[in-house]
């Protein structure tokens, strides 16, 4: 690919991720109706800027998915901590979160355990990792593990993310009339810093990407993964099971969904890590993971439509439009991934 064409392709990838993150994180989920679609440009600096910073920071450092997952968790705490303050506001958005998350609380951070689990899951998986994986599926000629932005572009992204986050934080304070305590802000800051530090301490020895930076190594002892479509089906089942906690009957002890979340995460991570480090792991498997989670948001979005402040018909029309867009995007990503040279194997991360 010619240098100018490759440069333009990387910029399009960055812009695509910038816009895709809020579309998945808010609109496909069903948090926003189709009538609010113009607000994607208000949400993109936070969602898209955050996802792009996670991806670019990891790729510039020669790191892969372990780093991006931990940075995604840090982003989750930034959004729902200092920016939205949902972690601490018992009446956030007009909902009685204090009653909904009345179970065990996290010491120092002073928030509900289950609320923290939800925040980490939704934003790490769907706001950050799924959009990154989908956009990277379109990358060619080694661009998947290369940074897409130079230092000027990265600097602009930092400024946009910071300004967007600050604007939304002030808007939330004004609309919610709530401000957390200094101790809560400080605890969140410490935890965010620890996650960022951990993200750059989880390097595994291995080869190097197209820029000469080190990548995680494949493990000859790793298990051969099942077919990509099986990985996608398992991803869909696991992420759908996570949302099953919304339908638990009243009276179930709060410890049940909390423990269930821990077991589900372990059930996903243990085989997933071994598969990803084995010789048989390919880009199709990675897309299967992202695609299964994406399809979960498709059905969840239809369930969430009943809570939107629009007519039921308008909500369902929006869900149908966003679901169709998700399916088209997933199909296009699968076709793009199939254009790898015969016999070639995409990098581990």
- Say whether pLDDT at 211 is over 50: no
Q: Which of 77-91, 134-148, 154-168, 285-299 has the lowest mean pLDDT?
A: 134-148
pLDDT digits 0-9 by tens, 58-92: 999 999 999 999 999 999 999 999 999 999 999 99
Distance CA 41, CA 164 (A): 10
Between 214 and 163, residue with greater pLDDT: 163
> Mapping DSSP to helix (H, G, I), strand (E, B) and coil, where does residue 288 land?
helix
- Say whether pLDDT at 215 is over 60: no
> Mapping DSSP to helix (H, G, I), strand (E, B) and coil, where does residue 105 land?
strand
Between 3 and 60, residue with greater pLDDT: 60
Measured in degrees and rounded to the nearest 5, phi and psi for residue 348 equal: -60, -45
- In which band, very low, low, confident or very high, does the pLDDT at 6 lie, cut at 50, 70 and 90? confident
- In which band, very low, low, confident or very high, does the pLDDT at 217 lie, cut at 50, 70 and 90? very low
pLDDT digits 0-9 by tens, 221-276: 557 889 999 999 999 999 999 999 888 888 888 889 999 999 999 999 999 988 98
Distance CA 295, CA 330 (A): 9
Q: What is the pTM of this model?
A: 0.91
pLDDT digits 0-9 by tens, 10-68: 999 999 999 999 999 999 999 999 999 999 999 999 999 999 999 999 999 999 999 99
pLDDT, position 206: 42
Measured in degrees and rounded to the nearest 5, phi and psi for residue 108 equal: 70, -55
- Say whether pLDDT at 348 is over 70: no
What are the C-alpha distances in Å from 182 to residues 89, 103, 161, 178?
A: 14, 23, 23, 13
pLDDT, position 216: 47
pLDDT, position 305: 81
Could you tell me what percent of the chain has a pLDDT over 90? 70
């Amino acid at each position: 690919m010619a240098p100018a064409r490759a440069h333009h392709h990387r910029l399009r990838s960055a812009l695509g991720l910038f816009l895709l993150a809020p579309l998945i994180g808010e609109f496909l989920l069903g948090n926003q109706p189709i009538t609010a679609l113009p607000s994607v440009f208000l949400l993109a600096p936070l969602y898209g800027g955050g996802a792009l910073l996670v991806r670019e920071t990891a790729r510039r450092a020669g790191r892969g998915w372990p780093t991006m997952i931990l940075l995604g968790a840090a982003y989750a705490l930034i959004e729902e901590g200092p920016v939205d303050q949902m972690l601490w506001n018992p009446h956030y958005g007009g909902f009685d979160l204090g009653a909904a998350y009345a179970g065990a609380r996290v010491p120092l951070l002073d928030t509900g355990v289950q609320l923290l689990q939800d925040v980490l899951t939704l934003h790490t998986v769907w706001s950050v990792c799924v959009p990154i994986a989908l956009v990277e599926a379109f990358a060619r000629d080694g661009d998947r593990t290369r940074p897409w932005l130079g230092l000027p572009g990265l600097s602009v992204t930092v400024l946009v993310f910071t300004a967007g986050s600050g604007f939304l934080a002030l808007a939330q304070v004004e609309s919610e009339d709530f401000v957390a305590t200094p101790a809560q802000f400080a605890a969140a800051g410490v935890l965010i810093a620890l996650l960022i530090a951990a993200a750059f301490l989880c390097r595994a020895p291995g080869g190097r990407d197209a820029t000469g930076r080190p990548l995680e190594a494949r493990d000859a002892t790793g298990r051969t993964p099942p077919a990509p479509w099986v990985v996608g089906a398992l991803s869909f089942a696991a992420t759908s099971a996570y949302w099953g906690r919304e339908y638990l009957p009243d009276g179930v002890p709060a410890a049940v969904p909390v423990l269930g979340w821990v077991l589900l995460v372990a059930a996903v991570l243990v085989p997933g890590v071994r598969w990803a480090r084995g010789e048989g792991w390919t880009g199709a498997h990675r897309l299967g993971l992202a695609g299964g989670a994406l399809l979960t948001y498709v059905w969840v979005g239809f369930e969430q439509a009943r809570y939107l402040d629009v007519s039921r018909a308008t909500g369902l029309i929006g869900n149908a439009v966003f679901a169709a867009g998700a399916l088209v995007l997933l199909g296009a990503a699968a076709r793009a991934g199939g254009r790898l040279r015969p016999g070639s194997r995409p990098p581990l991360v």
